[in-house]
Amino acid sequence: MKDELLTSGLARRDKVVFDYIFNYYYSSLCAFSMQFLNDRNTVEDLVQDFFVSLWLEAPSHTIHSSLKSYLFTGIKNRCIDFCKHQKVEHKYRKYIFFTATNEDDSAEHFVAESELRHAIESCLEKLPPRCKEIFEMSRFSGLSNQEIAIKLGLSKRTVELQISNGLKILRKELIEYLPVCLVALLLQ
Amino acid sequence: MNFSIDRFDELFPGYFAGELSDEDRINMDHWRNASPENELHYIDSVKAWESMTLLREMENFNSFEALQKVNGRLKTPGSARWMNVLKMAAAIFVLPLLAYSGYLTQHNFTLKKMLEEHVVTQTITSRQGMVTQFLLADGTKVWLNSNSELQFPTYFIGDFREVKLKGEAYFEVTKNKHQPFRVNAKELRVEVLGTSFDVANYQDETMQEVILVEGKVGLSVRQDDKSTENSFLQPGQRGVYCEKTGKIVTDEVHVDKYIAWRDGNLIFRDDKMAEVVKRLSRWFNVEIVINDPEIKGYIYKANFRNENLEQVLNLLKISAPIDFSMTERKALPNGEFTRQRVFLSKKRT
């Protein structure tokens, strides 16, 4: 989708364009913000506020960068501002200090939900059927390697090898989506 | 020490799950610290591993509901003022403005078409013990049962309105005979024009059920893009697709008990204990093990509403000669929890 079409549509306050951008980026902006503020409700409030002001200020605002980096940088600044005004747990403040002072590119590399889903799904399609089955059991149903081994009547080592093979392919295929995924580490 | 990148890849799943022997774990740590490249390889592996966690995290946020909240806040006095200016301008420059609005509509039309080509897929998940209700873009009402997931586009384009279901959902489909509504549940496909029905497609089961309340639905089984089995349902009928035989069997049922979950009720009407146990385990997300096979045949009749698992089991205990015991949930090394287990046995006299 062409960026200029979206930004110019936004500047015209075109509701169809606004809805599209909202649906496209909402969940990933929320997930992205979770690395700064580990609270779902706060994060949703901030992202919704951000979209409301995006709409209100749209005609007087020109977006020079790509729409994506405009959105992610914008929400990041809002998260940082919010933290400054709140007593936030020490570990998060430390992290924010770190990212705010070092010009990081986390905003640049984040992906929308549908892009990530598409990337993962097409990756999984490339795995051999048995490998895919085991990999999905491991990642989606929360079974331990031992439990999968028992369920499928395989040795634990075979299960681990299959997961490892799946991971190798995923790592290669997902490479351009990878910078963002580090965030998930911070979510835990 | 002979430790290669391949050996690292091999051990990684165990390493990450915290299931390695001390020796292997120490070797892994050594390897990671040996060079910055090794550490980078480790980080990339973690990212690939965690990409699915990130996707799940995103799915926790529902843009559909959020947009409805935001919509209420978008009306501004500013835009009303702008409209006034526009009206004044319109009075003066009627003709040029008309021409401009013509251009705008044209522009909007191509824009709409472009947006339609970039459909956004949305996933809504219902957590354990919760029923989620929402509307799709065409006005179709959906009730999503506990532990279920529905994938749908934010706009419906093309010849069909297609959605993908894991778990159980009840649909009240908005009539549109030009664009039939399709539910895909594994190989089973349910197709309708406008009607109310329930689809149950739990991942851990090898049977899928469709219960029709109103209207008419067509069922078909898709394998390798070919339809191998077809069937139609009348109101009050149930269609069961069995993965093993590849066949669809229809029968008459009491519709109420199948759709009672929408209002948070569990209804059993002369159901065998095996069926009762199956539905309880889904509802409470627990594993129920029947120790004495004899219990499976017990017939049961009950209505539950808002009772918790222990209350339900106690009621069960009073009304049938059975006893139960439970295990606690255990934390796994990866931070998730095992399902709670319940054991049912015959009451000892």
What pLDDT shows up at residue A102? 42
What's the pLDDT at A98? 42
H or E element in which residue B223 lies: strand B217-223
* B75, pLDDT greater than 80: no
- Tell which residue, A34, A68, A74, has the closest CA to residue A54: A74
Same domain, B232 and B133: yes
H or E segment and range at residue B240:
strand B237-242
Total domains in chain B come to 4
B296 and B248 in a common domain:
no
Q: What is the C-alpha separation between A75 and A132, in angstroms, rounded?
A: 36
Whole-number average pLDDT of chain B: 80
Query: Quick one: tokens of A118?
Result: 């598409």
Is B85's pLDDT higher than 70?
Answer: no
Ordered by start, the domain boundaries in chain A are 3-109, 113-177
Residue type, A57: E
At B115, is the pLDDT very low, low, confident or very high (cuts 50, 70, 90)?
A: low
Considering CB atoms only, which of B54, B114, B118 is closest to A184? B54
pLDDT digits (tens, 9 = 90+) for A62-119: 787 888 888 988 998 898 888 877 765 545 544 544 444 344 555 666 788 888 888 8
B79 touches chain A (CB under 8 A): yes
Band (pLDDT 50/70/90 cuts) for residue B110 is low
Residues 159-188 of B with CB under 8 A from A: none
Work out the pLDDT band at B262, boundaries 50, 70, 90.
confident
CB contacts < 8 A (A, B)? 160
Flag if B43 and A145 touch (Cβ within 8 Å). Answer: no
Coil, strand or helix: which one is B291?
coil
- pLDDT above 50: residue B35: yes
A36: confidence class by pLDDT, cuts 50, 70, 90: confident
Q: Is A38 on the interface with B (CB under 8 A)?
A: no
Helix (H, G, I), strand (E, B) or coil at B329: coil
Whether the CB of B70 is below 8 Å from some CB of chain A: the reply is yes
Pick among A5, A12, A20, A110 to test the B interface (most B CBs inside 10 A): A20
- The DSSP secondary-structure symbol of B236 reads T
CATH topology classification for A3-109: Rna Polymerase Sigma Factor; Chain: A (1.10.1740)
Q: Measured between alpha carbons, how far is residue B253 from residues A68, B199, B343 in Å?
A: 52, 14, 30
Contact of A40 with chain B, judged by CB distance below 8 Å, is answered with: yes
Range of the domain at B94: 63-117
Q: Are residues B243 and B213 in the same domain?
A: yes
Among the candidates B78, B100, B117, a domain finishes at B117
What does the block give as tokens for B178? 């030009």
**Alpha-carbon distance A69 to nearest alpha carbon in chain B (angstroms):** 18
As for the ipTM of the complex, it is: 0.84
pLDDT at A149 over 60: yes
Question: What pLDDT score was predicted for residue A185?
Answer: 44
Residue-wise pLDDT tens digits, B137-179:
888 999 998 888 899 988 888 889 999 999 899 999 988 888 8
Classify residue B66 by burial, with Cβ atoms within 10 Å: 0-12, 13-18, 19+.
buried
Residue-wise pLDDT for B216-229, tens only, equals: 888 988 877 777 78
> To probe the interface with B, which of A43, A114, A131, A188 has the most B CB atoms within 10 Å?
A114
CA distance A160 to chain B (A): 6
Query: In CATH terms, are A3-109 and A113-177 the same topology?
Result: no
> For residue B90, is pLDDT > 90?
no
Distance between CA atoms of B331 and A142, rounded to whole angstroms?
11
Measured between CB atoms, does B50 come within 8 Å of chain A?
yes
CB contact (8 A) between residue A47 and residue B60: no
Tell which wins on pLDDT, B208 or B109. B208
**Same domain assignment for residues B155 and B282:** no
With a cut of 90, say whether residue B95 has pLDDT above it: no
Interatomic CA distance for residues B239 and B100, integer angstroms: 56
Are B133 and B110 members of one domain? no
Domain A113-177, classified CATH 3.30.70.1280, yes or no: no
Among residues B185, B191, B176, the alpha carbon closest in space to that of B209 is found at B185
Distance, CA of B251 to CA of B212 (rounded, Å): 11
Closest partner residue to B111 (CB to CB) among A9, A30, A179 is A9
CB contact under 8 A, A144 and B60: no
Per-residue pLDDT reduced to its tens digit, A115-139: 888 888 888 888 888 898 898 888 8
Q: Is the pLDDT of residue B101 over 70?
A: no
